[in-house]
Structure 1
Amino acid sequence: MSSDHPLSLEHTQRVASATLPRAEVEALLRAATQPLYFDDCDFAGADLSRLDLRGAVFHRCALMETSFAGAALSQSQWLRCRGREADFAAADLVDAVFQSSDLNNTNWRHARLASVTYTSCKLTGANFEACAALGLCFVETLLVGAHLRGLSFRKTTLQQLDFSDADLAGADFRDAIFEGGSLKDANLKDARFAGADLRQADLSGVRLVDAGMFRGATISHEQAAVLVTELGLRVL
């Protein structure tokens, strides 16, 4: 199956190249007998809050400043969408998949994100405050400046995640493996890294507010020198 079409069209009802305000989406939902497949549709600025869009597919759609607040979006798929500043607050996104999408400055506060996967997405400045995130997975994704306080990445493999300038206060990275990626200038207050393998991560600019946070973690000699420099010490 082509990566451009995550579900076979025989299992969906296709809507293509349309500009869809709320009233038209509601009409489509009333008439639908299968999950909707939105192909190259424009929802920019639309209020789609609290709608039942479970299982819907959004392919190459414009979602800029669209509100999905409180919507039912479980098992939905989002491929190559443009959705800066979209609002997913308190939405149910269990088992949703996001791929190759621009989701900069989006709002996910209080959303249900269990078993959600983001692959090759841009989430710069995104807010994940107080979301339910069991099984949440990011792969090769930009999280620069994102609000990720208290999230758990425990025992996960983190592939090419850019956490530069992100707020990771209280985040749990115990036993995580970093395959590339960056923690440059991130807020790591009260974060936990025991058992984590950080040897491939960029740790430049990390502020050691509590050196104990890295106790039990594995780092390289070069990274150790960087961290010691952050403490104002000289290594001779």
Structure 2
Amino acid sequence: MANWLQVRRLRGSVSNWNQWRVNNPGIRPDLSGADLTYGNFSGANLSYADLTAAQLFHTTFTEANLTRATLASAYNDYRNDGYPKGTNFSRTILSGTDLSNIRLRNANFSRANLREANLSGAKFDNVDFSGADLSRANLSGAILSKFYLGGLANLSGANLTDTNLSNANLTNASLSGSNLAGCILTGAYVGGCNFSASILDQVCCDYIFIENLAGKVRCPPTGKFASGEFASLIQQYGTVDVLFSELYSGKANNKSENTDKPEKKKSNDNGYITLIVEGIIGALATALGNAIAGWVGGIVAFAIAAIIAFLFHA
């Protein structure tokens, strides 16, 4: 259980708290199980603090130092009394921090330092890790629905074994050297993602998305990857963008070029035939017009002569 004197001190003033930490370097703060709802602890020194199972409803830790702190099983995901569920860890230092089995909704970890952090078994719903450093972090078995990792997030060397990244946005993230064995990537956005030297054994991926000038593009365009196909294609082409350009977009362009050529040739042949037919029809029309003109002219001349003769005799 939390030390309530320490909880009151933290809630009272961050500057006084930080000074207390300086004066008592040997004390590890015990905030386990504490209700930190609506607390603003921006810039607080919470390194090595124990926040196990703490309640983090609408709590702010912006630019705080939680190096090697423990937030295992902390949460903000079930309260139904009208409290907002967002928790803000933007630009927070969480290197080596234990966040195992943490449960967060609508949280913000943008540009946070999570190097070598333990997020195994974590459950995130609609969480933003854009620009965060998760290098060598452990996310094994984590559930990351609506997980946003765009904006050059760093997951190089991370452990993502059996992690659920379905529908996650990994645009431009670095996954070089990471372990994605058994990871679920179906429906994820992986445009610009760096998979170099990654372990992709038994990755479950039916399809993925990239975004380009045409907008949201599905890969493959229809159907789904065969078992193990995504991993082999990434190993062959290096990135999803090259894969799409060479394998899918390239095929579409070739098909378009092949179908254009016969149509062009057919169009030229039809042009020649049309010219010949038009020439024949023109000649026939001229001859017929001359014949009709001659016949009509004869009748008119005979009629005029008859009229003159009648008038003369009269």
TM-score when scaled to structure 1?
Answer: 0.74
The structural deviation recorded for 1:223 is 3.8
Instruction: Name the amino acid aligned to 2:30.
Output: Y
Corresponding position of 1:87: 88
Instruction: Name the amino acid aligned to 1:69.
Output: T
Q: 1:42 aligns with which of 35, 56, 74?
A: 35
The whole-number CA distance in structure 2 between the counterparts of 1:204 and 1:91 is: 35
CA distance change for structure 1 residues 18 and 156 in 2, over 3 Å: closer, same or farther? closer
Instruction: Name the amino acid aligned to 1:56.
Output: A
Alignment deviations for residues 97-139 of structure 1 (CA, whole Å, 9 cap, x no partner): 1111112221112222222221211122211122244433322
Q: Which runs of 5+ in 2 are unaligned?
A: 77-84, 213-218, 220-224, 234-242, 252-314
The structural deviation recorded for 1:171 is 2.1
> Secondary structure of 1:22's partner?
helix
The whole-number CA distance in structure 1 between the counterparts of 2:132 and 2:46 is: 20
1:15 maps to 2:22 = no
Corresponding position of 1:216: none
Corresponding position of 1:123: 124
Corresponding position of 1:217: none
Corresponding position of 1:164: 166
The whole-number CA distance in structure 2 between the counterparts of 1:132 and 1:153 is: 7
TM-score when scaled to structure 2?
Answer: 0.57
Residues 118 and 141, structure 1, Cα contact 8 Å, conserved in 2? yes
Residues 16 and 40, structure 1, Cα contact 8 Å, conserved in 2? no
Larger radius of gyration: 2
The whole-number CA distance in structure 2 between the counterparts of 1:192 and 1:121 is: 23
Greater fraction of residues in helix: 2
The structural deviation recorded for 1:222 is 2.2
Residues 60 and 81, structure 1, Cα contact 8 Å, conserved in 2? yes
Residues 161 and 181, structure 2, Cα contact 8 Å, conserved in 1? yes
Alignment deviations for residues 137-191 of structure 1 (CA, whole Å, 9 cap, x no partner): 3221112211112233344442111111111112233443322221111111111
Residues 134 and 155, structure 2, Cα contact 8 Å, conserved in 1? no
Instruction: Name the amino acid aligned to 1:222.
Output: S
Q: 1:193 aligns with which of 192, 195, 199?
A: 195
Corresponding position of 1:9: none
Q: 1:153 aligns with which of 146, 152, 155?
A: 155
The whole-number CA distance in structure 1 between the counterparts of 2:158 and 2:16 is: 42
Corresponding position of 2:51: 58
> Secondary structure of 1:138's partner?
coil
The structural deviation recorded for 1:26 is 6.7
Residues 17 and 44, structure 2, Cα contact 8 Å, conserved in 1? no
Instruction: Name the amino acid aligned to 2:183.
Output: G
> Identity rate of aligned residues, in percent?
16
How many residues are matched? 212
Question: Relative contact order (alpha carbons < 8 A, sep ≥ 6): 1 or 2 greater?
Answer: 1
Greater fraction of residues in strand: 1
CA distance change for structure 1 residues 120 and 17 in 2, over 3 Å: closer, same or farther? farther
The structural deviation recorded for 1:197 is 3.7
Q: Which runs of 5+ in 1 are unaligned?
A: 6-13, 214-219
